[in-house]
């Protein structure tokens, strides 16, 4: 639900959270931006996936840090800009070389990462309700 300015309340029936835009583009900066929420979802999924894998395989994973950046850039001069997410994941612990290789692979296998990397079909429906009294 749209609040004042650009602040938005989001709900899934069990939880509620908020999104907003930075003040320099007209928001009130009281919550993460939609892109920050997207990157946060990717980070959460990646960390959960790594933890699940490590637990199943008996790998001691002391800590994990995931940093993501979203941007747009030109592949070559004069080309259209493309969107890109840069990730940097750091895993703390003592790992064999085989574990390191596998953990690198697993980091890119969370469901959100796969969805973003593969693209998603969007089907949009817009409907209209009565005006507020």
CB 43 within 8 A of CB 68: yes
Chain centroid to CA 3:
23
| Alpha helix (H) residue ranges in the chain | 34-57, 97-107, 111-118
CATH of domain 33-118: 3.30.300.20
If DSSP codes are grouped into helix, strand and coil, which group holds residue 104? Answer: helix
What is the reported pTM?
0.86
pLDDT tens profile 6-34: 999 999 999 999 999 999 999 999 999 99
> What are the extents of the domains in the chain?
1-31, 33-118
pLDDT tens profile 42-95: 999 999 999 999 999 999 999 999 999 999 887 777 778 889 999 999 999 999
What is the rounded CA–CA span in Å between residue 6 and residue 34? 11
């Amino acid at each position: 639900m749209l609040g004042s300015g650009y602040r938005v309340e989001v709900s899934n029936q069990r939880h509620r959270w908020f999104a907003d835009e930075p003040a320099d583009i007209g928001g009130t900066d009281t919550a993460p931006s939609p892109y920050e929420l997207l990157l946060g979802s990717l980070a959460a999924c990646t960390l959960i996936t790594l933890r699940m894998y490590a637990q199943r395989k008996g790998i001691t994973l002391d800590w994990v840090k995931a940093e993501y950046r979203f941007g747009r850039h030109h592949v070559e001069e004069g080309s259209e800009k493309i969107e890109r997410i840069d990730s940097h994941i750091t895993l703390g612990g003592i790992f064999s070389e085989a574990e390191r290789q596998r953990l690198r692979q697993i980091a890119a296998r969370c469901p959100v990462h796969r969805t973003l990397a593969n693209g998603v079909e969007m089907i949009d429906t817009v409907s209209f309700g009565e005006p507020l009294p």
